[in-house]
Structure 1
C-alpha cells in the first residue's frame, strides 16, 4: 500500500491497522488527514487481502484531539460547508464499509477525533482515554456527523447535554453510556483486544458480516426500510456458497472455510 503523509498502515493476518501519525500534535485531523483516510478506506473496499481494519493513533496520549485549529480559523461559510461535507463523506465510507472497522482508542478522542471513532463499527478504549465534543467552547459545532451519530447512540437528551456543555467524560463513563464496547488497561492491551475481537469476527462468513453491517446501519436511516433491507440481505445469503459451507461444517463438526461467495 502507498505511503501517506499523515498516517501509516500495516497489514498483518488480514487486519489492516491505520495509525494516525501526528503524535506531536495529538493526531489532529487536518484536511490532508481526511484525504489520506478516504484513500485508504477506498482501498479497503476493493482489496481482498484486507478483511478488517483497526484505526488508532500514534503515541500514548491521543487517538485524535480533532480538527486543526489553524485550519478552522481559515474557514469561511463556503469552504466550511465543503470541509464538513468532505469529512462526512469520508466517515460515511467507514460506517458503510462491508468489512468491520474498529477504533482502538489509545488516548484522547475529542471533537472530530471522537466523530471518527463513532463512525467505526466497534470501539475499544484504554482506561486513560478521554472523550468529548469541545467544539461549542470554540464557537463551532461538530461537522463530520457527530451530532447525528451521538444522538443515534445515546438518545436526544444525553447527546444534547454533552454537545451543548462541551463536557468531557472518561472511558468508563463512555462504556456505561454504550459508546465503547470494551475498556482495557493500556494502549498495547487496546490493540491486543481489538485484534482478538476481529479474529473472532473474521472466523465468520464475510458476506453475512457485511450484510449485518448494512442492516444495522439501515435501522437508523429514516428513508430506508430496515426490515426490507434485512429480508433482501437474508435472501442474498441464501444463494451463497458460504451458507452451504457453514451448514456442512456444522453438521460435520468441523471449522468452516468461508470464502465470501
Structure 2
C-alpha cells in the first residue's frame, strides 16, 4: 500500500499506525483518535525526511495537540509515536546551528517541552527506530515507554559539543542509575531496545510490526478505568521521583483517602462485589 498524501507531500508508510479520520491541520504532526471506543489520542510526528527532527514548530504543534486531548473528556490516554525509521532522531541541528547563548536564554530553548510531562492524562511513547537526543528525552517525558525490537536510544549531544538540555541527564539517571546514564551521556553511545528494557528505561519490547497494536491495547485498558482515579495514581507515582520516601508515603495515603470521596471508588467496589463491569463516571 503506497504512503498516503496529506497535502504536504508523501507521508512515510507506517503500517502499525491505524489511520482512520486523521486531522491534517498540522504541518509536522498527525493526530487521530484510536480504540474501539475512540478513547485514545494519537500524536504521530511527521517529518520523515528529517527523521522527525524536533524543531520548535513541531514541539508547539505537539503541545497544542496534547492540550486538545487533555481537555477532551472522551480521551483516557495519549500515545506519541513516529514512524518505523525514527521516533525522533534528536533536536533540529540546522535550527540550532547559528543560535547564540543570549538567543537561547531569551528564547528559553527547550522551554516549550513541558506539556508532555505536565499532562494530567497518561502519555505512552511508542518507539520504533531512533530515539536519540531530544527524541530520547521526549520518550522519557512520557509515563510509559513501549519499544519495537529495532528501536535505539541514546544521548549523543556530547558528540556535537553540547549536553542534553531537555532532561537527558536527569530523567535518564533516575531511570537507569548513575553509571549507565553517565556512560551514555559521556560517550554518546546508543543502546538497543532490549538493552533499554534491561536497564529499566523501557517497559516492554515487541516486534516492530506489533508495537502499535500492543500500545493501543495498553492505552485502551488504562482508558477503561476512572479518569479521575488514574490522574491521582499518576500523581502519586510521579511524586516518588521528586520527594523523600516519607513525604511520598504521606501523599500516597492522602490521595488514597481522597478516592473514598469519589463516586467512582464506590462504583468500582460495588461492581467488584456484584461481579460486573464498573461504569465509571469520572466523578
Same fold at TM > 0.5:
yes
The answer to whether the aligner puts 1:33 opposite 2:58 as a matched pair is: yes
- Conserved in 2, the CA contact under 8 Å of 1:96 and 1:214? no
Of 181, 186, 210, 1:189 maps to 210
1:133–1:163 CA contact under 8 A, matched in 2: yes
- Deviation at residue 83 of structure 1 after TM alignment: 4.1
Please give the alpha-carbon distance, in whole angstroms, between the structure 2 residues aligned to 1:95 and 1:238: 27
Structure 1 contact 64–110 (Cα < 8 Å) conserved: yes
The residue that corresponds to 2:16 in the other structure is none
Q: Aligned residue for 1:102?
A: 124
Q: What is the distance in 2 between the residues matched to 1:198 and 1:244?
A: 24
User: What residue ranges of structure 2 are gaps of 5+ in the alignment?
Assistant: 1-22
Contact 1:96 1:213 in 2 (8 A): no
- Where does structure 1 lack aligned partners over 5 or more consecutive residues? none
Length-normalised TM-score, structure 1: 0.93
Q: Give the deviation of 1:71 after TM superposition.
A: 1.1
SS for the counterpart of 1:140 is: coil
- Give the TM-score normalised by the residue count of structure 2: 0.86
Secondary structure in 1 matching 2:109: helix
Q: Provide the aligned C-alpha RMSD in A.
A: 1.7
Partner of 2:221: 200
After TM superposition, the structure 1 = structure 2 runs for residues 131-210 of structure 1, keeping only pairs within 5 Å, are: 131-186=153-208, 188-210=209-231
Query: Where does residue 88 of structure 2 map in the other structure?
Result: 64
Contact 2:24 2:30 in 1 (8 A): no
Work out the CA distance in 2 between the residues paired with 1:223 and 1:179. Answer: 22
Mapped to 2, the partners of 1:158 and 1:106 lie a distance apart of 22
Tell me if structure 2 keeps the 8 A contact 1:103–1:124: yes
| Contact preservation (8 Å) 2:75, 2:223 | no
Return the offset for 1:49. 2.1
